[in-house]
Amino acid sequence: MHFYKYHGLGNDFVLVDTRRQELPVAGEDLSALGRLVCDRHFGIGADGLVLLRPVDGADIQMQIINSDGSEPEMCGNGIRCAAKYLYEHGGLRQDEMRIATLAGIMRPRLIRQNGRVQAVRVDMGEPRLERTDIPMTGPPGRVVDEPLALNGGSFRVTAVSMGNPHCLIFTAHVDRVPLTELGPKLENHPAFPRKTNVEFIEVLNRGEVRMRVWERGAGPTLACGTGACAAAVGGALNGLTERTVKVHLPGGTLDIQWAEDNHVYMTGPAAEVFAGEYTGRPV
Residues acting as catalytic residues: 75, 224
Residue 61 or 164: the one with the smaller Cβ distance to ligand API is: 164
Listing DSSP states for 66-100 in one string gives ETTS---S--HHHHHHHHHHHHHTSS---SB--EE
Q: Is 75 in the site for ligand API (CB under 6 A)?
A: yes
Selected from 17, 34, 36, 66, the binder of ligand API by CB under 6 A is: 66
Distances (CA, A) of 216 to 62, 179, 219, 270: 18, 13, 6, 21
CA dihedral of 268, 196, 163, 110, whole degrees rounded to 10: 10
- Give the per-residue contact string, 110-139, with ligand API (x = CB under 6 A; - = no): ------------------------------
Helices and strands counted in the chain (H then E):
4, 17
Q: Is 216 in the site for ligand API (CB under 6 A)?
A: yes
Bridge partners of residue 116, in order along the sequence: 113
Residue 167 or 224: the one with the smaller Cβ distance to ligand API is: 224
Selected from 3, 7, 11, 23, the binder of ligand API by CB under 6 A is: 11
Selected from 61, 63, 158, 226, the binder of ligand API by CB under 6 A is: 226
Q: Under 8 Å CB-to-CB from 258, ≥6 apart: which residues? A: 127, 229, 232, 233, 236, 243, 244, 264
Least separation in angstroms between CB 115 and ligand API: 26
Q: Is 34 in the site for ligand API (CB under 6 A)?
A: no
Q: With CB under 6 A as the contact rule, which of the stretches 71-79, 127-135, 151-159, 203-211 interacts with ligand API?
A: 71-79
CB 262 within 8 A of CB 126: yes
Residue 68 or 208: the one with the smaller Cβ distance to ligand API is: 68
Q: Is 211 in the site for ligand API (CB under 6 A)?
A: no
Least separation in angstroms between CB 283 and ligand API: 20
Selected from 43, 125, 225, 234, the binder of ligand API by CB under 6 A is: 225
Distances (CA, A) of 173 to 37, 126, 166, 184, 211: 35, 29, 20, 20, 10
CB 131 within 8 A of CB 143: yes
Least separation in angstroms between CB 85 and ligand API: 15
Q: How many CA atoms lie within 13 A of 222 on its CB side?
A: 15
Residue 125 or 217: the one with the smaller Cβ distance to ligand API is: 217
Residue type at position 241: T
Least separation in angstroms between CB 215 and ligand API: 4
- Which residues contribute to the site for ligand API (CB under 6 A)? 11, 48, 64, 66, 72, 75-78, 164, 197, 215-218, 224-226
